[in-house]
Amino acid sequence: MKKLFQSFKLRLFIAIVLIGIVAVMLLENSIIAAFQNKAFETKTAGVIDDLVAVSGKMAAEKYPLNSSLAFDDTLSTLSSIYGGRIIVANSDFKIIYDSYGCLEDRYFTARNVIKAYKGQISSDISDEYLELVVPVKNGDSTLGIIYAGVSLKDEMNIKSALESRADTYVLIAILAIIVFAAITTFALSYPFSKISKQIKNFAAFDEGTIEPSGYLETEDIAEAFNELKVRLKILDDSRQEFVSNVSHELKTPITSIKVLADSINGQEDVPNELYREFMQDIVDEIDRENSIITDLLSLVKLDKGVSGLNISEMNVNEMLELIIKRLWPIAELNEVELSFEADKEIYADLDDVKMTLALTNLIENGIKYSNPGGLVRVILDEDHQYFTVTIEDSGIGIAKEEIDHIFERFYRVDKSHSREIGGTGLGLAIARKTVLLHRGSIKVESEVGVGTTFIVRLPITYIKA
Amino acid sequence: MKKNYWLIICILTCFIITACGKNDDNTMASVYKVYYLSEDKLSIESKEYEIDNMSAADTLGRLITLLSLSADGGNLAVNSSAIEGNMAVLDMNSAYNELVSEDRALIAEIIVRTLAQVEGIEYINITVNGKPVTDSSGNTVLPYKSDAFIDSDIVSMLGTNTDHVSLCMANKSKDGLIFTEEDITYNANKMQEEAIVEKLIEGPVNNKNHNGTINKDTVINSISKSGKVCYVDFSEKFFELPKGISPDLAVYSVVNTLTKLENTDSVVILVNGSNKEGFMANYQGELVMNLNVIN
């Protein structure tokens, strides 16, 4: 029920109907009030005319002074025409004629009577009767007053007949308003219904576009939705690409293992040395597969976001020294020199395991992509609330157009050499994600043939979101 | 200067009366209305005073003092006052005769309405220097009855009438008519007969022993009297009788009720100006009270 009332259409409908009904009612009332006023005015004017005429005749005959029966017939006729009472009082305010015949000899000094005596015709209207007092004047002297209580029954009957007829029209008008409100509501809300239908259609069949139509508001919705659609598409594409990349990367070592195993199986009397050599190759491939899976798992963990971080205060110098110590054998193997420069001891809030992995990846990359005899410099520096780790190599460098893609998963700059260089293609993605989770930034500067510099800038104190 | 003397005298009188009153009786007090002329001199207004219970003569004196205090002095003054049986006599100075007609009427009303509250007083006689007052035609003004002045109210300048009347309605089993006494209140511009017939149309209120005889939607087109004959004209709804009511009951409930009034001997009933249609064809001419339908 509550939900039904939350409907925009229903509210609009009710609003239109209410406004319409109020307007019609007001109109009806004002028309009837105008009629009533007009009817009463006309009646008042008519009665005043009658009374003034009678009072003129009376003044000529000095009627209120010389009480006679001459006017009784006229007055009683008027009384029955008016459906009310006629009273005449003399200048002593003593009643000398009452059409109902029971107030004679009593005194009539109501406010309007005194006013009339002083020359002012006065009238008063209640629901049932119009009360008028007219003076009987003979020159300057006032001989008395004529009072008429005139029934307004006819006017009220006409009014109620009019009201009941008006009620019928009002009812018809209200029905018309309801129909109008229904149509208007439908028409006004059509663009919204249309857009909602299109979105539902898209949700069901994953196709079609949202056509902007009708209102600025619906255009906004359509635009926003279409934007969302494009972003969803990009997300979906990248996921598909990722899945295909993962499958490919996972499949490569397995294919190698199969080839190696098949070739051993296919030969008879294989020499022991060859066996050993092939088995070593198979072990290498398994190691590679293992490292890819490990990296994927790390990435998945990073995807969990900040909640996955395990922050503690670390000595960054010690951390970097340990990493360099671990990478020393690889550097020697590649005939690359490794150097570490730091002016002071830096302590920072970091997730030890994840940050170690990230920095290891960056330095290892520097070593791998350096030419023999090259140098990889790791420089630690502090800058107010941040510290920076700069990893500078003198390797092959990265082309400008590739720089934007190097942090993508499984992206390889040099696809042809990827196998010799090794690695999983996930290292930079892991490094970037880790740095971002620590609310830091990672920057790359590179020139082909000269070398590449990664600058990692991290806050010393971890800022919670 | 004259005005000041008047005031001083009044205040002195007031003290004396108050003192007397306290000696006399101080058990209870009653509320009296003292009337005075409105500022625009077009009507009268009143103010309530609490006066200790005392003899009628003392109350009268007290009220006259209060009247004098609240009156817009002028030259008007009270010479003396007295109670003669059920009549209060108030002798005014000659200024009373010099008042213009409307002022004199309102002053008379003020005096009559104020003094009529004294217990036992039914008439008020106003004299000037011991002589009776004459009206504009030269006739002697007779003593005013205590209700001589018409009471206006919000409903009408003529006020509201309340009458105790007998209404003739159907009995419980709807096979006869029965008289029931009721008080009716109506605009004084309305004919008593009309108010009564309206009450008949309305039917009994909270009375299970009586039944209405006329359709409640019936409208009285007109009602008039000529001598002792009352003419009632109903709308056509009169033909649509309430359930179980015969035409006899409907017609004679109206006739019997109206002829029960002193000034009415017979009734002519019309429907939209004619008595030829429907069951009214059987009720031609002047109808008199029919006791055969009374149970």
DSSP string, A162-216: HHHHHHHHHHHHHHHHHHHHHHHHHHHHHHHHHHHHHHHHHHHHS---PPP-SSH
Are the C-beta atoms of residues A348 and A315 closer than 8 Å to each other?
Answer: no
Q: A124: which 2 tokens?
A: 């008063």
Instruction: Tell me if residue B148 falls in helix, strand or coil.
Output: coil
From the candidates A129, A134, A156, which should be mutated to test the interface with B, based on the most B CB atoms within 10 A? Answer: A129
Q: Where residue B24 falls among pLDDT bands split at 50, 70, 90?
A: very low
How far, in Å, CA of A93 to CA of A113, rounded? Answer: 9
From A15's Cα to the closest Cα of chain B, the distance in A is 38
Beta strands in B67-176 (DSSP E): 78-84, 87-92, 123-128, 131-132, 144-145, 160-170
The pLDDT score that the predictor gives to residue B145 is 93
Q: A110 and B135: CB-CB below 8 Å? A: no
Res. B20: pLDDT tops 70: no
Q: B156 and A84: CB-CB below 8 Å? A: no
Q: A109 and B136: CB-CB below 8 Å? A: no
Q: A362 phi and psi, to 5 degrees?
A: -65, -45
Structure-derived torsion over alpha carbons of residues A69, A72, A73, A78, reported in degrees to the nearest 10: 170
Lookup result for tokens 């390889």: A412
B157 touches A: beta carbon within 8 Å = yes
Res. B14: pLDDT tops 50: no
The pLDDT score that the predictor gives to residue B232 is 94
How far, in Å, CA of B71 to CA of B38, rounded? Answer: 10
Are the C-beta atoms of residues A316 and A350 closer than 8 Å to each other?
Answer: yes
Given the DSSP bridges, would you call strands A451-459 and A311-315 parallel, antiparallel or unpaired?
unpaired
Tell me the residue type at B99: L
Residue B286: name the closest of B203, B212, B227 by CA: B227
Q: Residue A68: which residues within 8 A CB-CB, separation 6 or more?
A: A61
Q: A90 and B109: CB-CB below 8 Å? A: no
Q: Where residue B266 falls among pLDDT bands split at 50, 70, 90?
A: very high
The DSSP bridge partners found for residue A89 are A95, A145
The pLDDT score that the predictor gives to residue B1 is 43
Are the C-beta atoms of residues A199 and A189 closer than 8 Å to each other?
Answer: no
Minimum CA–CA partner of A122 in chain B: B157
Angle formed at CA A157 by CA A153 and CA A158, multiple of 5 degrees: 120
Are the C-beta atoms of residues A439 and A463 closer than 8 Å to each other?
Answer: yes
The DSSP bridge partners found for residue A87 are A98, A147
Q: Where residue B86 falls among pLDDT bands split at 50, 70, 90?
A: very high
ipTM above 0.90, yes or no: no
Q: Where residue B71 falls among pLDDT bands split at 50, 70, 90?
A: low
From the candidates A80, A92, A117, which should be mutated to test the interface with B, based on the most B CB atoms within 10 A? Answer: A92
Q: Alpha carbon A330 to chain centroid distance? A: 57
How far, in Å, CA of A384 to CA of A387, rounded? Answer: 8
Tell me the residue type at B149: F
The pLDDT score that the predictor gives to residue A329 is 87
> Which residues 1-40 on chain B approach chain A with CB closer than 8 angstroms?
none
Q: Alpha carbon A108 to chain centroid distance? A: 74
| Residues of chain A with C-beta less than 8 angstroms from the C-beta of B188 | 85, 149
How far, in Å, CA of A312 to CA of A351, rounded? Answer: 6
Q: Where residue B89 falls among pLDDT bands split at 50, 70, 90?
A: very high
Mean pLDDT to the nearest integer, B187-214? 90
Q: B157 and A131: CB-CB below 8 Å? A: yes
| Residues of chain A with C-beta less than 8 angstroms from the C-beta of B43 | 109-111, 114
The pLDDT score that the predictor gives to residue A250 is 85
Q: A179: which 2 tokens?
A: 């129909």
| Residues of chain A with C-beta less than 8 angstroms from the C-beta of B187 | 126, 128-129, 149
Mean pLDDT to the nearest integer, B78-102? 90
Mean pLDDT to the nearest integer, B124-136? 91
Query: How many interface pairs between A and B have CB atoms less than 8 angstroms apart?
Result: 97
One pLDDT digit (tens) per residue for chain A, 465 residues: 667 778 888 998 999 999 999 999 999 999 999 999 999 999 999 999 999 998 888 888 877 555 556 788 888 888 888 888 999 998 899 998 898 888 888 999 999 999 999 888 888 887 789 999 999 988 888 889 999 999 998 888 888 888 999 999 999 999 999 999 999 999 888 888 888 888 888 888 777 777 777 788 888 888 888 888 888 888 888 788 888 878 887 888 898 899 888 888 888 887 888 888 888 989 988 988 898 888 888 888 877 776 677 888 989 999 999 999 988 888 888 899 999 999 889 999 998 888 998 999 899 888 888 888 899 999 999 988 899 999 999 888 888 888 888 888 777 776 666 556 667 778 888 899 899 889 899 999 998 888 999 999 999 988 776
The pLDDT score that the predictor gives to residue B3 is 47
Partner residue facing A91 (CB), from B101, B189, B222: B101
Partner residue facing B105 (CB), from A92, A147, A157: A92
Other beta carbons less than 10 A from residue A237's beta carbon = 10
Res. B267: pLDDT tops 90: yes
Q: A108 and B188: CB-CB below 8 Å? A: no
Minimum CA–CA partner of A149 in chain B: B189
Q: B257: which 2 tokens?
A: 């009720």
The pLDDT score that the predictor gives to residue A418 is 59
From A70's Cα to the closest Cα of chain B, the distance in A is 18
From A150's Cα to the closest Cα of chain B, the distance in A is 8
Q: Alpha carbon A6 to chain centroid distance? A: 14
